[in-house]
Structure 1
Amino acid sequence: MQITYLLINFFTVIICFIYSFHPKIKFNRYFGAFLKSSILVGTVFVLWDAWFTKKGVWWFNDQFLLGIRILGLPVEELMFFICIPFSCVFTYFCLTKFFKWNINPTLERIYVLISVVFYAVLGIVFHHHIYTAFTFMSLSISLLVLYYALGIRWIAQATVIYIILLPGFLIVNGLLTGTALPAAIVNYNPADFMGIRILTIPVEDAFYGFELILWNLYFFKKFAKKIILKRDDFCKK
């Protein structure tokens, strides 16, 4: 039972890792760029995670853990911020490498604007729930910065791919929050989130994950610009 979270991380990443070496994909050439981006982004999210853990917003069930902790977080939780982004960035890389995406710029602009306002409103309305408020306000700010300040033009594309990945998200986060397990690996304080769940998953987790992936993609693209592969337009804005 103590290797449960470790196994979840392992099975989340192993298939993507193996296919990274496929001669038509060659994602292994981007391992360095990915590692830089995941460490950079992961540091921020780990600090967020450690702060919320200390405040009791969520906590971890030692029954499913190895027992090694850093900054008050299980080592498996730190691995989460590498394994999940790896699988998502790899999937995004493959889907944008082998398929053409033609998303209308005007529709994307409208989508981003509506999202920024909608998430900000949710953050304000549910300001008394720290997880809800912090998640939606930070996502709103992230979209503002990424689209308007940094000028990226793949947010709609990333959203569609993230939706494609949602079944996997439901499996992984479902296991972490107690679906199909005798108890939850990660427990949440009911006072700190809206109380809306997908199966056993607080709905905020989906938006927390989306923000995590957006920033991983942004920095990964920057670090990967030096690597040129035939037919690879991955690094374009």
Structure 2
Amino acid sequence: MIQYTYLLINFFTVIICFIFSFHPKIKFNRHFGAFIKASLLVGLVFILWDVWFTKNGVWWFNYRYLIGFKISELPIEEILFFICIPFSCVFTYFCLDKFFKLDWKPESEKIFVVISSILFLGIALYYHDRIYTFVTFLSTSISLLILYFVLKINWIGKASFIYLILTPGFFLVNGILTGTGLDSPIVNYNPENHIGFRMLTIPIEDFFYGYEMILWNLFFFYRFKKEEIEAEKL
């Protein structure tokens, strides 16, 4: 059974959210199409990132916990990760946004984006010799600036707050993947390629890697959802 560990992590991450997607007060299932298009689009970029890092030994996988089926350099469980995790996060955001008013004031959100972008850029430049740290913080900084100033979205503050709410789930899932509660990690990291600061067993870069991925999933989900709604009116 141990070879199903990563597969079961994906399953239990998504199953409760999937079931409640059909709840009559939520009806997230009506937007499965928008989510699938968004997750495939964003997932492709992160999968290519993942493949490149795996090929270059930035991280690697312990096949003791995997069923053994690979696509390119990645186990199938890792590819499913880019669907299951965004599904749970986008679903949670959708629900909280539907039932609670969590919007930030425009000025507060602008300050948050600017300060965060400068901070992340500074970290990227300071650790320019650590490829995981450099790429993660640089791309997150650029993503925030593009989303806010170019694409003009007004929910980064709200999304950031909800991502923090999801932190216990992040620690549970990523903690197991990086070795919490296991004899050895499912995902191993080359210590030369990241800062070395860990939350439990989780490299801090993972937190911002996930943050950036969820922001882009939300952006494309709501864009495709809007297109679907407009198409239904025709």
Residue 183 of structure 2 is aligned to residue 178 of structure 1: no
State how far apart, in whole Å, the 1-side matches of 2:131 and 2:102 are: 37
The CA deviation string for residues 13-54 of structure 1, in whole angstroms up to 9 with x for no partner, is 000000000000000000000000000000000000000000
Residue type at the aligned position of 1:185: I
Deviation at 1:226, TM superposition (A): 3.8
RMSD across aligned positions (CA): 0.7
C-alpha distance in structure 2 between counterparts of 1:158 and 1:147, whole Å: 12
Aligned mates of 1:13, 1:101 — CA distance in 2: 24
**Could you state the TM-score of these two structures normalised by the residue count of structure 2?**
0.96
The aligned residue for residue 234 of structure 1 is none
CA distance in 2, matches of 1:45, 1:103: 28
Equivalents in 1 of 2:148, 2:196: separation in Å?
A: 30
SS of corresponding position for 2:3: coil
Asked if the contact 2:103/2:157 (under 8 Å) is kept, the reply is: no
Task: State how far apart, in whole Å, the 2-side matches of 1:111 and 1:170 are.
Answer: 24
Distance in 2 of aligned mates of 1:42 and 1:203: 21
Match for 2:148: what amino acid?
Answer: Y
Distance, in Å, in 2 between the alignment partners of 1:101 and 1:227 is 25
What SS is found at the alignment partner of 1:181?
coil
User: 1:225 aligns to what SS in structure 2?
Assistant: helix
The corresponding residue for 1:12 is 13
Q: Secondary structure at the match of 2:128?
A: coil
What displacement does 1:103 show?
1.3
Secondary structure, in 3 states, of the residue corresponding to 1:2? helix
The answer to which structure has the higher helix fraction is 2
For the residue of structure 1 that corresponds to 2:196, the secondary structure is coil
Match of 1:157 in 2: 158
Look up the equivalent residue of 1:13 and give its one-letter code: V
Contact 2:60 2:189 in 1 (8 A): yes
SS of match in other structure, 2:181? coil
Shift of 1:101: 2.0
Distance in 1, matches of 2:104 and 2:175, equals: 31
Matched position secondary structure for 1:3: helix
Structure 1 residue 227 displacement after superposition: 4.8
Decide whether the 8 Å contact of 2:34 with 2:225 is kept in 1: yes
Whole-angstrom CA distance in 2 between matches of 1:203 and 1:95: 26
Which amino acid is the alignment partner of residue 80 of structure 1?
A: F
How many residue pairs are counted as aligned between the two chains? 228
Query: Segments of 4+ in structure 1 off by > 3 A?
Result: none
Distance 2:102 2:139 in 1: 27
**What is the CA–CA distance in structure 2 between the aligned matches of 1:102 and 1:159, rounded to whole Å?**
11
Quote the sequence identity (%): 64
Residue 39 (structure 1) aligned with residue 40 (structure 2): yes
Cα distance, 1:102 vs. partner? 3.6
Match of 1:68 in 2: 69
What's the offset of the Cα at 1:108?
0.5
